[in-house]
A and B are shown apart, each in its own frame.
Chain A
Amino acid sequence: MGEFTTVGRAEEVAEGQVRPYEVAGQQIAVTRIDGTLHAFSDICTHKACSLSPGETIGTAIECECHGSVFDMTSGAVVEGPATEPVATFGVRDEGGALQIEA
């Protein structure tokens, strides 16, 4: 477990949005689903495309390059071609500050 780093303001991530951040050299995407924040690696495990610009359907996000689909809450692969899950990270709203644990 790493430490929580403030990356911005929690209100930047509106319901259903996915925003990219960089923490300790890692590209991490943050989304808000039903009010809850979730953070996951923004690098697709298939061919390293950035996931954050992709389409979302419920808790799933689809990679723009080759169509892999991941669950943003667990990192699990929902649909290939990717076979490996993306990492997930702790994320919290600390008095309005958006903090990621990495």
Chain B
Amino acid sequence: MRVGQTLVIVGASVAGGTAAATLREEGYDGRLVLVGAEELPPYERPPLSKEVLRGEEPAASAFLRPEGWWEEQGIEMRLATRADHLDPQARAVVLDGGERIAFDRAIVATGGRNRRPALPGAGLDGVFDLREIRDAARIQEAARAGGHAVLVGMGFIGAEVAASLRQMGVGVTVVEVFETALYRVLGAEMGRTIEEMHRDHGVDMVFNDTVERFAGTGRVERVVTTRGRAIDCSFAVVGVGTVPVADLMQGRGIGANGGIEVDPQLQTEIPGVFAAGDVASHDHPVFGRIRVEHSDNAVKMGQAAARNVLGRGETFDDPHWFWSDQYDTNIQMAGYAPTWDRMVVRGSLAERSYCAFLLQGQRLRAAVSMNWKRDVRRSFGLIRSQAPIEDKKLADPDVDLRTLVPAGKDA
């Protein structure tokens, strides 16, 4: 891109902020506008369920760059500003209130919003969800007052919040629709290893049940489930997934998963308009059409979108890695396996020290580890290359996974 042109990034998110930083690092010195709905500059969300929630680190520690950095870089920050829509003909982002910012190229990184089931009582005080720094502050305040929390949903957010609340001395009951923790991502066998860890830390878990209503006078006092349980609580946290914030596309180029469809190089159907992060439904060279909500993916996609805006034309083939810290346990996953026909374990599920490999035929689709840090990142090459592998090599902790990738097939 030439100087004199305007590049607009919609979404002051991890993906959007990283894209802006990358553009400057790559030498783009033209006009750069970053539009964000929140009033804060871009920050990382992983600490919000952990150190920031527990009050061990200040919220500002999560900022992607120090305050003032954005202005120093000559990035026009339009915070507390919602983009209403993108006008593909006029090539302009139209803000709430009607102001138009014309662009030559744009990156959409608007992320997701939390799913909030329309349950009776969901508007009571003390019914929280977690996405922004202020949400973490509210939950922290409620947790400091002590008492008992009901968590709705035991995906990664529910599991991490459960761990943090237990560490803060708060009693926790989780209500989860599936049969175990993290069932949808990890399946029953691995899910139970997470479930048991939480049980050891005193978390009460109710599976195969859903919340019917929140009850209380002004403030939540009780959660009532479909199967008739009534659980007393002083506050509740709902963590039942997110939906992409793609409204600004006004239905244009939206995929079945609600995300903005992008090609392998992250370009939307509008030429010169790219999308990155949670909102992007990407045509991945290994996984096919996929939309993920991992922080690391937001960073990597933001970087790639920035480079491709500058004309690099690189295919985004990241194997999608993420981690979750719960208590003193480190969990990692790479790849994508909506289904698998076989699981090979290195280490021991029973001892909660393992790397599990999810396979389709002889091809590795995903790797998941619990207290076994070395091998998920070492499996990247196998996931990217889809090279056939033998089960016994995967199961053998002495085999270096990096050596199983044929030469010239990436690492």
Q: Measuring CB to CB, which residues of chain A are less than 8 angstroms from any residue of chain B?
A: 47, 49, 53, 55, 62, 64-67, 80-81
Contacts and interface: CB of A to CB of B under 8 A. Distances in A.
B183 interface: no
Contact of B299 (A53, A64, A80): A80
Contacts of A55: 377-378
B373 A65 contact: yes
A17 B330 CA distance: 25
Contacts of A53: 373-374
B304 to A, nearest CB: 14
Contact of A67 (B44, B321, B374, B378): B321
- The residue among A47, A53, A55, A64 with the most chain B CB atoms within 10 A of its own CB is A64
The 5 tightest CB contacts between A and B, nearest first, are A64-B373, A65-B330, A66-B323, A65-B373, A64-B374
Contacts of B373: 49, 53, 64-65
B221 interface: no
Contacts of B44: 81
A62 B46 CA distance: 19
Interface in B1-55: 44, 46
Interface residues of B, number: 12
A65 B323 CA distance: 8
A49 B44 CA distance: 19
B296 interface: yes
Interface of B: 44, 46, 296, 299, 321, 323, 325, 330, 373-374, 377-378
B16 to A, nearest CB: 16
Contacts of B323: 65-67
Please indicate which of the listed interface residues B44, B321, B373, B374 has the most CB atoms of chain A within 10 Å of its own CB.
B373
A64 B373 CA distance: 6
Contacts of B377: 55, 62, 64, 67
B325 A47 contact: yes
B114 to A, nearest CB: 23
A48 B325 CA distance: 13
Contacts of A47: 325
Contacts of B46: 81
Contacts of B325: 47, 65
B406 to A, nearest CB: 19
Nearest to B299: A80
Contacts of B299: 80
Given A49-B373, A64-B377, 6 more contacts: A53-B374, A62-B377, A64-B374, A65-B373, A80-B299, A81-B46
23 contacts: A47-B325, A49-B330, A49-B373, A53-B373, A53-B374, A55-B377, A55-B378, A62-B377, A64-B373, A64-B374, A64-B377, A65-B323, A65-B325, A65-B330, A65-B373, A66-B323, A67-B296, A67-B321, A67-B323, A67-B377, A80-B299, A81-B44, A81-B46
